[in-house]
Structure 1
Amino acid sequence: MSLRISSELQNFISELGYPFTTLSSLFESKNLDKYLDSKWIQSAHIFEILDKNANDQQLLTCSNVQKFYQFIPPYFAALSSKNGQQAISRLASYEQLIGPIEIGTFKEGDKLRIHIGYLNQYRKISRFSLLVDQLSIISLIRTGTGKEVKPISIGSRFEYSQILTNYIGIQAQMSSDNYLVFKLEDLLIPFKTQNDIVWNFMEPGLKKYIDELNVNPPFSAVVQNVLFKLIAGGNFQVKDVAEEIGISPRTLQRWLGKEGTTFKKELGKVQKVLSLNLLQDATMKTAEVSFLVGFTDVTSFYKAFKKWTGKTVLTYRHEVIYRKNQFNSTN
């Protein structure tokens, strides 16, 4: 089976140095190996240049899935999904074919929180990189559904210009975490782009290359990613995380120890990230946030939050309101 791409895209890809004219040639040759190697090595330099020189209109253009999905296999696979929830799951599974990215998801009742992390140090501080990854997810959902689906919350430590705010449809939050939140009902809207034939063709190739890429993130990052998934369900003890990973609790603790950390520390990091973001939602009571991040009583949550941040929950929420008012007064 040979799924040919347009001549216009062929020329563009050729200029970038990616010699693929069909999906089958992409997977059946060794070209993808070279593409992945060069992408990972050069990405830091590329994003350094983009951070300095690219404007936000160019950033939006680079985030438009319709312009690049045909030659970015993880996005092609995501658009072939039945809905946004499945698309995000596929993107999370194969995003590392694009770059050193980790995507984690966390269910909050009738909402889904998407967390974006990086295994590359420079990507962690690149505004262009992070915002393109966030906006590409929004574009993916809109392209698949044919509807102007908006996230109900989005945030990072970077500024969002008015042009980006207009595109997103809501005001972004200042946050130490990189995240988006969607209503689950919006993510269950059927994709008009669903294509099981394409997916069945692509899946073996994607699995092959993700295995061969052999990206080994820190074990602590693996534990954190699992915790993001398990905390909402209430079963996130050492044994639960170890079982999810497929190792014994003792081995999990030992491997974390080799990295100079503990399960308790990693759990605290995840709970802190979730808390800082959930508390920005003025409609959520502190007791609700406490429960969602895994505390059985709100008093323990208050103490933990003060330990993590040096602030009380009330002080933090007042700061969030102040920042929102400041943002609104300047826009």
Structure 2
Amino acid sequence: MSSHSLDRIHIPANFWIGLRQIDVSAQDILRKAKLPLTIFTESQFVNTAEYFAIWEAYSEIIDDPAAIIAKQMNDLEISQLPPSVLAPYHARDFRDALKRLARYKQLCVPERFHITEKDELCTIELEWLYSELPEPPMLAGIIMASLLEMGRRGTRISLQAHSVEFSCPVGEIKGLESYFGCRIKFSAERSRLTVRRSDLELPFVSYNADLLDILTPALDRSLVDQQRVSSVIDKVKWIMKRSLAAGRPDIQVVASELGMSDRTLQRRLTDEGTNFKQLLAIARREQALLYLSDPTIDLKEVAFLLGYEEQNSFYRAFRLWEGDTPSNWRIVHSFH
């Protein structure tokens, strides 16, 4: 189970209201998911693993997940959506809506949309930031259906998907195929919705420039604030600096502290334009300059604190970083 500080999901009140409308008890869902009832009674946050458990329990309790997916889309009240999801419904066209959703969705749920346009098709692929496991099938169905529903609501046209892929079956397949208007495929590594690129050009009847002018700056500020604390680079460097004295930090250990696999960590670092080896060098350099600024720390101790077994190895690395020896750098900078 992930313990990342940003792995927080608030389940909105209308989720529990929707359960009551189909005679499903929130208490029954939470008991089946083996989660505390306070999640419902006190509106507590859950992490991704707990969120998945709730959706797994939900799908096991109801008779036909596919029918519930269609019902939720029909009953969707746009006015009840959070700003990060509301803004895309008032975008200029379907493409603009998808891009806005991909940009802002992480503000309320730790998931990411990858949008790829190629030839005549556009594929939207779902990735969860703090889970190596695929999302429960019913949750995948709701998310993929909501993307298509956004296009339908915005354009006022009954758009049809080109294809939909899930990792596992989602209820009665005929019902799902009827909703999406295409064949459903299973056994995919990630959930995907593919639409026609020509549909992306369709303008939204619900386009509201004035509303976007209000929502967009606020959402962008929230995104910047979140990214400031959620940068994987900053998290990795902090863990590295804390553990340098014990030796060269291991990627598996760092990844474990972040609640992810080493493969996921490598991918996230690549997304941010770096890699583990480069970050280790940066972390050591930053710590070296910090230690050398303190004249009470001996050079041999600096090398040890940076995780170097030999002092000469530290000297060679420092020359590459600063073009000078540690002792000379300390003398020069002691006068600043």
Please state which band the TM-score falls in when normalised by the shorter chain: 0.5 to 0.7
CA 1:89 to 1:166, structure 2 compared with 1: closer, same or farther past 3 Å? same
* SS at 2:45 equivalent: helix
CA 1:123 to 1:61, structure 2 compared with 1: closer, same or farther past 3 Å? farther
**Matched positions, count:** 208
Are residues 1:116 and 2:129 paired? no
Quote how far apart the aligned CAs of 1:56 are: 2.4
Q: Find the counterpart in structure 2 of residue 198 from structure 1.
A: 211
* SS at 1:149 equivalent: coil
Q: Find the counterpart in structure 2 of residue 279 from structure 1.
A: none
Are residues 1:38 and 2:50 paired? no
Are residues 1:90 and 2:108 paired? no
Q: Share of identical aligned residues, percent? A: 16
Q: Is the 8 A contact 2:176 2:184 kept in 1?
A: no
Q: Is the 8 A contact 1:154 1:173 kept in 2?
A: yes
Q: Distance in 2 between matches of 1:36 and 1:131?
A: 24
Quote how far apart the aligned CAs of 1:205 are: 2.0
CA 1:70 to 1:200, structure 2 compared with 1: closer, same or farther past 3 Å? farther
Q: Find the counterpart in structure 2 of residue 48 from structure 1.
A: 56
CA 1:191 to 1:72, structure 2 compared with 1: closer, same or farther past 3 Å? same
1:200-219 alignment, distance < 5 Å: 200-213=213-226, 214-216=229-231, 218-219=264-265
Q: Distance in 1 between matches of 2:47 and 2:74?
A: 21
CA 1:77 to 1:176, structure 2 compared with 1: closer, same or farther past 3 Å? same
Higher helix share: 1
TM-score by length of 1: 0.54
Q: Find the counterpart in structure 1 of residue 199 from structure 2.
A: 186
Q: Is the 8 A contact 1:40 1:99 kept in 2?
A: no
Q: Distance in 1 between matches of 2:231 and 2:44?
A: 15
Q: Find the counterpart in structure 2 of residue 133 from structure 1.
A: 143
RMSD, aligned α-carbons: 3.3
CA 1:12 to 1:126, structure 2 compared with 1: closer, same or farther past 3 Å? closer
1:1-331 alignment, distance < 5 Å: 38=45, 40=47, 43-54=51-62, 55-64=65-74, 66-68=76-78, 70-121=80-131, 124-160=134-170, 161-174=173-186, 175-213=188-226, 214-216=229-231, 218-222=264-268, 245=272, 247=273, 251-252=274-275, 254=277
Q: Is the 8 A contact 1:64 1:136 kept in 2?
A: no
Q: Find the counterpart in structure 1 of residue 236 from structure 2.
A: none
Q: Distance in 2 between matches of 1:96 and 1:79?
A: 16
TM-score by length of 2: 0.54
Quote how far apart the aligned CAs of 1:200 are: 1.1
Q: Distance in 1 between matches of 2:54 and 2:15?
A: 17
Unmatched tracts of structure 1, length 5 or more:
1-9, 17-34, 227-244, 259-331
Q: Distance in 2 between matches of 1:192 and 1:257?
A: 51
- Which amino acid in 1 is paired with 2:185? Q
Q: Distance in 2 between matches of 1:256 and 1:149?
A: 46
Larger radius of gyration: 2
Quote how far apart the aligned CAs of 1:107 are: 1.5
Quote how far apart the aligned CAs of 1:121 are: 2.6
CA 1:204 to 1:13, structure 2 compared with 1: closer, same or farther past 3 Å? farther
Q: Find the counterpart in structure 2 of residue 262 from structure 1.
A: none
Unmatched tracts of structure 2, length 5 or more:
1-11, 19-41, 233-263, 282-336
